Amino acid sequence: MKICPACYAIFVDNKWTFNEDLRGKAMQKREWERCLCPGCDRVAKGRIDGVVHLKGKFLASHKEEAKNLIRRVAEDKLKKNIAARIAHIEEKNDEIVIETTDRALAERLGKEFGKAYHGSLEIQRQKESAFARVYWRRD
């Protein structure tokens, strides 16, 4: 069995997944090898497919809520796509910038912010490109 040393995902039945039980058993029996999963591999290589800019006064006064929403969206997406990760988050007073390894994750983050908190949302995507820039703002 392959185990990702960075996030502890396991490769079993031809796909990457999270399963503490199976991972524990494989490690005990030493029947495993280290191998970065596609998500950690993208993070390690610095492959960024989306950047989300969250900005505005509303954000400054709802930081914790916003971070919980980011976490929830990322966890949801990870269940569907092991390669969709948040590579980096930078926080300033009224701004959070999130770099993702997956365009769909960046777009989902923007849409979920729009759904939860309204504000304005703009998604810039180049045709045929895997990269998106997402701007959400509420003052």
Q: Which residues bind Zn ion (CB under 5 A)?
A: 4, 6-7, 9, 37, 40
H helices within 29-136, ranges in order? 38-45, 57-61, 63-80, 103-117
State the nearest-atom distance from the C-beta of 135 to Zn ion, in Å: 29
Question: Computed from CA positions of residues 23, 1, 100, 104, in that sequence, does the dihedral angle turn out positive or negative?
Answer: negative
Nearer Cβ to Zn ion (89/123) = 89
Nearer Cβ to Zn ion (59/78) = 78
- The rounded distance, in Å, linking the Cα atoms of 139 and 135 is 13
Nearer Cβ to Zn ion (7/116) = 7
